[in-house]
A = this chain, B = another copy of it.
């Protein structure tokens, strides 16, 4: 089969590789219905995060079970399933406490920008939909696999509750779905920080009540102005840079909650400064598996449409154009059809 391999900065190729096969009895092989390019794929694509060798790309996926290993009892070929970027056993203490992305036996899932994917720990990792979903639900089901689950974690970790005021830093797909998540969790006021008109429009469609276009100190000042001079009780940091983190912490009120869900790149936090902000800080790789049943149900019942973040759809063979479009911010997120 042909799959997506990153060879170096801005050198992504769709090329012949051996198809995946069952290597552990707990594995499953999926035939993917859709996959996509992640904002985090852009770090190595841009050369900011070095790669040591040609690397199979992709970790967002949904599709049909093609084959299962001998130890997999609860999944059957033909089922439509969704999983996350870390395979998890869903039985260890850390999984039970709600952090499957730090599962004691976790394994990365990689190589999902391909027609076929091997998923380790399949029973713990994959959640099946009631039936094979209709075609128009596929983008939203795919979003559940990572970006929606990550946006949901951002809202969860920032303690968004009915009536909350939430600030979302970042207008990428995760940030936009953090807006949607905050809305679903009952936030009364959702302030999206964005300076891109098309992204602002989608943020508003997802539930944003205010848009702040300033960044840095001016952005913080504007947030304070909108929150009685105090800052917000919930701030969702969905980028992962020093600037975005500083902005997020500065926009929170004392005793407020700041979540951060993008892998930080070059971020340093000064302990004394953080101390006097009095914020709660929580983040990490989103424990998407915890949220899968709830989010699949929201999509299945057509309560939300997170698939709207895919504003570009390409045949998988044109994956390199997907990377380019996202790198140049021509697209929010590129869906790939195998």
Interface residues of A (CB under 8 A from B): 93-94, 97-99, 101-102, 104, 228-230, 233, 240, 242, 245, 253-255, 260, 263-272, 274-285, 287
**A228 to chain B: which residues have CB within 8 Å?**
93
In the complex, the 5 A-B pairs of residues with the closest C-beta atoms, listed nearest first: A267-B271, A264-B271, A102-B254, A278-B284, A99-B255
Tell me the complex Cα distance, A277–B281, Å.
Answer: 12
Quote the shortest CB–CB distance from A85 to chain B (angstroms): 13
**A230 to chain B: which residues have CB within 8 Å?**
93-94, 104
Quote the shortest CB–CB distance from A35 to chain B (angstroms): 24
Identical subunits present: 2
Given contacts A260-B275, A267-B271, A271-B268, contact A255 B94 (CB under 8 A): yes
CB pair B275–A283 under 8 Å, yes or no, is: yes
Partner of A102 from the list B240, B245, B260, B278 (CB cut-off 8 Å) is B278
- For A267, give the chain B residue with the smallest CB separation: B271
- For A93, give the chain B residue with the smallest CB separation: B230
Tell me the complex Cα distance, A264–B276, Å.
Answer: 10
Quote the shortest CB–CB distance from A229 to chain B (angstroms): 8
CB pair B265–A268 under 8 Å, yes or no, is: no
